[in-house]
A and B are shown apart, each in its own frame.
Chain A
Amino acid sequence: MRLEYFDMIDKVESFDPASKRIVTRSTVPAQSPVFEGHFPGHPLVPGVLLTETMAQASGYLLLGLNGLTQMPFLMMVDKARFRTFVEPNAVLDVSAELVHEGSGYAATKAKIAIAGKPICDAELRFRLMPFPADMRTLMQSRIAAIGLSPEAA
């Protein structure tokens, strides 16, 4: 994870198009400018960045399922729950599943666990739109870096 670059997912552990589910893993860095303010002397990953982490796992799931034909943009966060603190060096298991595929949008459920212990979860919704200029290339690079193989190109 590179928190300050919103680079939240390290690698894909599994991607199952049949069950429309993805499991990813991320390791919280030991140090980050984020921790200088949140909080001095008591570093904790902000809930908003945990939400972003769940959104990115969901986003990669959707990209994997649609073969990078549309870009998912987060448009709604429902029922977000943050059950315990996340500290530096924590290894996060971030999973997401598709719960509804609409026309031009999709809904997922995502969660984060550490060693099997639930950390946070949320229901997320995404607008699916044509890729803005150059973003498809960027996302192709990202999914290759984290080891995701899309359904179809």
Chain B
Amino acid sequence: MSATFETVAGIISETCDIPREKITPQSHAIEDLGIDSLAFLDIAFAIDKAFGIKLPLEQWTQEVNEGKAPAEQYFVLENLCKRIDDLVAAKAA
């Protein structure tokens, strides 16, 4: 989890030019860090490549838009990192 967060925080910092110290596990990518949808796709590309996975952004967006899941479930960084860990584990299984 910690290593995943460090990687993700580094990607966000570099991709969006956000000071690394402002990025915490509790940061909400959209509400706290101001990352827009286009920038998030840029982050997703870097995460996909770094972890060898495919973040299911379309599914997540649909679930949030339909009220089936709160945005925090995917866009608070500690939750995002948990999803990444799950995807990496699923790929390895």
User: Which of A75, A100, A103, A107 lies at the interface centre, i.e. has the most chain B CB atoms within 10 A of its CB?
Assistant: A103
A104 touches B38 (CB 8 A): no
A104–B49 touching, CB < 8 Å: no
| B66 interface residue per 8 A CB criterion | no
Q: How many residues of B contact A (CB 8 A)?
A: 14
Is B86 close to A, CB under 8 A?
no
A107 to B57, Cβ gap below 8 A?
no
A132-152 residues at the B interface, CB under 8 angstroms: none
Residues of B within 8 A of A82 (CB): none
Tell me how far the C-beta of A72 lies from the nearest C-beta in chain B, rounded to whole angstroms. Answer: 12
Instruction: Decide if B45 touches A103 in the complex (CB within 8 Å).
Output: no
Which residue of the partner chain, among B42, B48, B56, contacts A100 with CB atoms under 8 Å? B48
The secondary-structure label for the interface of chain B is helix
Which of A75, A100, A105, A127 has the largest count of B CB atoms less than 10 A from its CB?
Answer: A105
Choose from A75, A76, A102, A127 the contact partner of B48 (Cβ within 8 Å): A102
Q: How large is the interface on A (under 10, 10 to 19, 20 to 34, 35 or more residues)?
A: 10 to 19
Query: SS class of chain A's interface: helix, strand, loop or mixed?
Result: strand
B54: which A residues are within 8 A, CB to CB? 101-103
Q: Mark A47-81, 1 if CB is under 8 A from B, else 0.
A: 00000000000000000000000000001100000
Tell yes or no: A125 within 8 A of B by CB. Answer: yes
**A 75-113 to B, binary, CB cutoff 8 A, 1 in contact else 0:** 110000000000000000000000011111101000000
Nearest first, the 6 A-B pairs at minimum CB distance are A103-B57, A104-B58, A103-B58, A105-B41, A104-B57, A103-B56
